[in-house]
Amino acid sequence: MVLSEKGMLVLPGVEGVGVHRLGLACGRHQAYRTAAVLKRLPDWHVRLAALLAAASTRPFDGHRWNCGRFTLAAVQASTGGRPAWRSLPTLEASADSAGFPRIPPAFARAGDVVLAGDPPRLGVVVDGGRAAFVGPRGLVRISLTDCATAWRIG
């Protein structure tokens, strides 16, 4: 990771994408988009892997680096865009407001967003049957069987 003059953590090997010091993924196109127009980029897996590597040891911070900011960064890494969403009373309602279709967690694939319970938190599917979540000392991985719902990204 490299800190640019604009305060972004630049993801090595991924041109045009960085993680802002507040945790938001930043790229060339900052406009919020509806879920219908957000499609996965051809190199989404490389971009997502770079984000996961950059976030692997970044600890939870309630205002700067939380589950919402992590999942928004993952969606932007996969699609190149930031979804339009609203902050609502629950994480599930907030995630629904982005407009991505809900799917059962068992059908989630890498890059999809998931919701785990107790405590409720959003995460991103990383590989066969596991999802990554922001933890006290960096990313933690749990089984998709512990997730309540999922949203298909792109």
- Give 118 or 34, the one with higher predicted confidence: 118
Helix (H) or strand (E) holding 37: none
- Integer Cα distance of 3 and 26 in angstroms: 13
- Integer Cα distance of 77 and 79 in angstroms: 6
DSSP secondary structure string for all residues of 71-85: HHHHHHHHHSSEE--
Half-sphere exposure of 128 (CA within 13 A, CB side): 0
In this prediction, residue 128 carries a pLDDT of 82
DSSP secondary structure string for all residues of 93-134: HHHHTT-PPEE-GGG--TT-EEEETTTTEEEEEEETTEEEEE
- Integer Cα distance of 83 and 23 in angstroms: 15
Residues 13-54: pLDDT tens digits?
444 444 443 344 444 444 556 766 789 999 999 999 999 999
CATH architecture observed for domain 2-151: Alpha-Beta Complex (3.90)
Residues 66-105: pLDDT tens digits?
999 999 999 999 999 999 999 999 999 999 999 999 999 9
Q: What are phi and psi of 94, to 5 degrees?
A: -65, -45
Confidence of residue 10 (pLDDT cuts 50, 70, 90): low
In this prediction, residue 147 carries a pLDDT of 97
Confidence of residue 118 (pLDDT cuts 50, 70, 90): confident
Q: Mean pLDDT over residues 128-149, rounded?
A: 96
